[in-house]
A and B are shown apart, each in its own frame.
Chain A
Amino acid sequence: MSRQSSSVWAPSRFAGRFFVSVERWSRFIAEHAGQIGLLIWNMLAACARLRVPRRDILRQLHIIGIQSVPIVVVAAALIGVVTSQQGGYQMQSQIPLYIMGSVVVESVVLEMGPVLTAIVMIGRVGARITAELGTMKVSEQIDALQSVGRDPVEILAAPRVLAMIISMPLLVSMANLVGITTGMISAQYTLGLGQETFFYGARLFWHSYDIVYSLLKALVFGAAIPIIAIHMGLRTSGGAEGVGRATTHAVVFMTLTILVIDALFPPLFLN
């Protein structure tokens, strides 16, 4: 093809490619959305029929909830310190120092506590779930489970999701407490802000709804992370490399989902 004719055709070729990729993307999104919807539906059905083994829920509570405590506490402690220091840095001269109490408490409770706990849990729990189920999928263990009349959604998916939904609000509550405490201590040492003043400032702008908002986030994140992880695990194919690929994709998918949900929270729930 000569150079001229190709440049004449370029716009329509571009448009063609554009529509092909739009089509591919919408099919991709529809496929994931459909599969996730079905997964959620099957999981609800399994819970409604009380078919989820209690022993597995307890086991997952241990792995997902209890074993995550140390990393969540460490992350929250650091977040508290950083929030308080950064706030202090910006808050010289005119602004009264007691505002710091509110800055630390509100940013930890409304944003940092839930979101950072979720990010930690994506790495610690989400990736693990995808890798675990992905390996079972590519080695035909999921097939084998079905062949003996067991339902992977009941036995593998539901216990993990339930454990995560139970754990997340507790972990986030803990992260909030720890973050506020370290923020307060840090403010005391670096800004000389006493405890009473800190809490005076915190109370000034505090709504009891804030804790509801924080725990609601925890709950939604706690459902979204394992559901995506399981979905990505169960559609894994292609051996060890496929498991690696699925896990990476799952982490990206979970992180973006958490950030998007987080961005939707203020317009939906803070009015």
Chain B
Amino acid sequence: MSVAGNGSGPAIEYRGVFKAFDEPVLSGVTLSVERGEMFALFGPSGTGKSVLLKTTIALVTPDRGDVMVGGESVYFGGRDVLERIRRKVGFVFQYAALFDSLTVFENIEIGIPEENLKRMGANAVAQRVWESLELVNLDPKQVLGKLPSELSGGMKKRVGIARAISGRPEILLWDEPTTGLDPVNTAAIERLITQLSEDLHVTSLLVTHDIEGGLDMCDRVAMLEGGSLRFCGSPDDFRASDDAVVKAFIDRKAAIAALDTLEIR
């Protein structure tokens, strides 16, 4: 896995991203994630965290604004730039999004860029798939030949993570990677995220509802609420914040109090 890419500037930069479906979802999100950084994004359910992640590689096209990845524009750079960006970004989907007609092996193999597949040869590819499964704490012997419909929810999720890392991306976007996993597997995934960042300088943008986990692991955190950033700063500042919404996310008592006073849905 290579150290941060060519060019300069932040790994990911959201520039005034607007997106409305039936109602406005993102109303001008500006945020940058530095190279090699681990960044956690919190926020109530339905505020557009998944939508924001998807705008990073043009799976959802914003109505206004742009996203820069490694200094290149996702929306104004043309087809080749977008292709290059998608090759160096790995995406962990909230609901795994495995290809249901492909086996686990094929699902992970497809995460490796086409030109690398040709160069690597069959053995190296099989080796890479195997390693990726071990990294997400799955037994390759057991799952390689299975179809997604034969896996449990938590196993699917981890196969989705294996697919995202098999191409050795420089940047990883994690949409709730540990939601629905047992504590041991949660620890395995958290260790994987940390390792990727520390050993290989992979940039990670992590959407999670596990606030404590996010605050412990990440260099910076942000809170998306009501279509824009409510907070962006260090974990310590987050813990010390006076903001009622932020407090409600840290403290169970504050959350209960917020049920009656704040407009969080």
Contact = CB atoms under 8 A, between A and B. Distances in A.
A139 B63 CA distance: 23
A138 to B, nearest CB: 11
Interface stretch (A13-21, A145-153, A188-196, A208-216): A145-153
A23 interface: no
A141 B95 CA distance: 10
A150 B90 CA distance: 13
Interface string A131-159: 00000100111011111111000000000
Interface stretch (B110-118, B132-140, B245-253): B110-118
A150 B59 CA distance: 12
A26 to B, nearest CB: 22
Interface in B88-114: 89-91, 93, 95, 97-100, 110-111, 113-114
Q: Is the interface of A mostly helix, strand, loop or mixed?
A: helix
A146 B111 contact: no
A144 B57 contact: no
A50 to B, nearest CB: 13
Interface residues of A, number: 12
Nearest to A150: B110
Given A146-B57, A148-B167, A141 B114 contact: no
Contact of A140 (B58, B83, B95, B114): B95
B54 interface: yes
Interface in A125-183: 136, 139-141, 143-150
Contact of A144 (B83, B99, B114): B99
Nearest to A147: B91
Contact of B86 (A139, A140, A141, A148): A148
Interface in B42-89: 54, 57-59, 83, 86-87, 89
A144 B93 contact: yes
Contact of A147 (B57, B95, B98, B114): B57
A208 B232 CA distance: 75
Interface string B128-165: 00000000000000000000000000000000000110
A139 B91 CA distance: 15
Given A147-B57, A148-B110, A148-B111, A141 B163 contact: no
A141 B100 contact: yes
A147 B90 CA distance: 7
Contacts of B97: 139-141, 143-144
A150 to B, nearest CB: 7
B31 to A, nearest CB: 20
Nearest to A151: B83
A147 B113 CA distance: 11
A149 B87 contact: yes
A148 B167 CA distance: 8
Nearest to A45: B79
A147 B86 CA distance: 6
Nearest to B91: A147
Contacts of B167: 148-149
A47 B86 CA distance: 21
Contacts of B110: 145, 148, 150
A148 B163 contact: yes
B114 A149 contact: yes
A148 B100 CA distance: 16
B246 to A, nearest CB: 30
Contacts of A147: 57, 59, 86, 89-91, 93, 164
Contacts of B54: 143
Contact of A143 (B87, B93, B100, B163): B93
Q: Which of A144, A145, A149 has most chain B Cβ within 10 Å?
A: A149
Contact of A149 (B93, B95, B113): B113
A149 B86 contact: yes
Contacts of B91: 144, 147
B148 to A, nearest CB: 10
Contacts of B100: 139, 141
Contacts of B111: 148
A140 B93 contact: yes
Contacts of B113: 148-149
Nearest to B89: A147
Nearest to A140: B97
B86 A144 contact: no
Interface in A40-72: none
B86 A146 contact: yes
25 contacts: A136-B99, A139-B95, A139-B97, A140-B93, A140-B95, A141-B97, A141-B98, A143-B54, A143-B59, A144-B91, A144-B93, A144-B98, A145-B110, A146-B58, A146-B59, A146-B86, A147-B91, A147-B164, A148-B86, A148-B111, A149-B83, A149-B86, A149-B87, A149-B113, A149-B167
Interface of B: 54, 57-59, 83, 86-87, 89-91, 93, 95, 97-100, 110-111, 113-114, 163-164, 167
Which 5 A/B pairs are nearest by Cβ-Cβ distance?
A140-B97, A147-B91, A144-B97, A149-B86, A143-B59
